[in-house]
Amino acid sequence: MDRPARIYLDNAATSFPKPGGVLRAMVEYATEVGASPGRGSYAESRRGAEILARCRGRLCELFGGESASHVVFTHNCTDALNLAIHGLVKGVRRREPGARVHLVTTAMDHNSVLRVCSDLRVDGVEVTRVPADAEGFVEPAAIAGAIRRETRLVSVVHASNVTGSLQDVGAIGRVCGLAGVPLLVDAAQSLGHVPVDVRAMGIDLLAFPGHKGLMGPQGTGGLYLRPGMEALVEPVRQGGTGSRSERDVQPGELPDRYEAGSHNTLGVAGLLAGVEWVLERGVSSVRRHEVGLIGAFLRAFPGEARGFRLLGTRDAARRVGVFAVVHEAIAPWELAAGLEEGAGVLGRAGLHCAPGAHETVGTLATGGACRLSVGPFTTGEDVERACGALAGLASGCGVGGLG
């Protein structure tokens, strides 16, 4: 018996396949450049520095940033979130020893925020976790109600990696602006998928991965700091930068202030190609394609008659293409295994590093959900085949079918 063709639906974890230019850019860098950028005066080193600079500029173009030097490269989105949160708390404690520090986050946030906040609690930082409704939405008014005089940061995830819910970041940004509290946005599931404008949305700190919607390789990501935020966010690493080498303290200039050690320039070369692919195609075009796939999924999804429940809203305008599903008689891991074995559909079962989100939608105690997530290269036929495979699994266990 021939194995079914593979259908990759785990784009929320990492996008696949990548545009052809991504691998070509990395191979070109590895075979023709290879130098540490900006550390030497020779042409290859200068070319590496040009790749870094161009990528910063193209990222600013993508999300409306004011200054390319305020794009800081990190290992991934988790690293960017750690820099933003730990760096801001460190800054408060250096400027105001003994001051109370309060952070606001939400139930929908990823462990890359929740675990950072839990770690800081041990050191006396107070944290308020704002709840979400049954579809995973957080009310901006609830954020406003959680802000106190000692609140130093509000952190929200733009798009949930469980429910797909798109938060109204613009409204939350206005709340934070009125309160004079910086807003950190985790754009792991949104940047490259939906339009993001940091100035229009009132975003002070934007954390993002390179390997998801930006179509770059793993091991890349970044943090954008609105100009002026560098006075509030302290570095959390120190080391060589190739600049101010006569001094044994970290340079204050950006981006060197936050970028200690050699860059993953090979990865950034791929990231640049991915960002340029997104820009050339247009985020609005990417979004239209994804909304079409959301509609196709919602039409083909087996639904409650077959024992299924889809987490999150059915309003395509308020979600991204992340579909977490549960079944009344089939465990999430069994769904994922059955989809791969029977139809070659690749998804991810479990809690997706977001226990608060699963608690919100009632799936924490039962092992989470089976998640299918689309990308720019996913087709309507892929989505229909996945939904058909779900229906077949339900029929095989005697729910809503002939089994």
- Say what the pLDDT of residue 252 is: 82
- Say what the pLDDT of residue 40 is: 81
Write out the E strands in 162-217: 183-186, 205-209
Collapsing DSSP to helix, strand or coil, 206 comes out as: strand
Distance between CA atoms of 294 and 312, rounded to whole angstroms? 12
- For residue 255, whether the previous peptide bond is cis, meaning omega lies within 30 degrees of 0, is yes
- Which of 169, 241, 159 has its CA nearest to residue 202? 169
388-403 burial code (b ≥16 CB/10 A, e <16): ebbbbbbeebebbbee
- Which of 175, 180, 174, 182 has its CA nearest to residue 155? 182
State if pTM tops 0.85.
yes
- Which of 191, 242, 205 has its CA nearest to residue 89? 205
Neighbouring residues of 25: CB distance < 8 A, sequence distance ≥ 6: 269, 270, 272, 273
If one counts every other C-beta atom within 10 angstroms of the C-beta of residue 175, the result is 23
Give 275's DSSP letter. H
- Say what the pLDDT of residue 403 is: 32
Sign of the dihedral defined by the CA atoms of residues 238, 244, 245, 249, in that order: negative
Domains of the chain with bracketed CATH: 7-18+282-396 (3.90.1150.10), 20-281 (3.40.640.10)
C-alpha distances out from residue 117 to 84, 154, 185, 208, Å: 12, 12, 15, 18
- Which of 86, 99, 112, 121 has its CA nearest to residue 233? 86
Work out the burial of residue 236: count CB atoms within 10 Å of its CB; fewer than 13 is exposed, 13-18 middle, 19 or more buried. Answer: middle
pLDDT in tens, the chain (403 residues): 567 789 999 999 999 999 999 999 999 999 999 888 877 889 999 999 999 999 999 999 999 999 999 999 999 999 999 999 999 999 999 999 999 999 999 999 999 999 999 999 999 999 999 999 999 999 999 999 999 999 999 999 999 999 999 999 999 999 999 999 999 999 999 999 999 999 999 999 999 999 999 999 999 999 999 999 999 999 998 887 677 877 888 778 889 999 988 899 999 999 999 999 999 999 999 999 999 999 999 999 999 889 999 999 999 999 999 999 999 999 999 999 999 999 999 999 999 999 999 999 999 999 999 999 999 999 999 999 999 999 999 987 755 543 3
Distance between CA atoms of 127 and 117, rounded to whole angstroms? 7
DSSP string, 3-21: PPPPEE-BTTTS--SPPHH
Kind and range of the H or E run holding 362: none
- Say what the pLDDT of residue 92 is: 97
- 283: tokens are 């985020």
C-alpha distances out from residue 373 to 106, 163, 349, Å: 22, 11, 12
Kind and range of the H or E run holding 74: strand 71-74
116-146 burial code (b ≥16 CB/10 A, e <16): bbeebeeeebbbbbbebeebbbbbbebbbeb
Collapsing DSSP to helix, strand or coil, 195 comes out as: coil
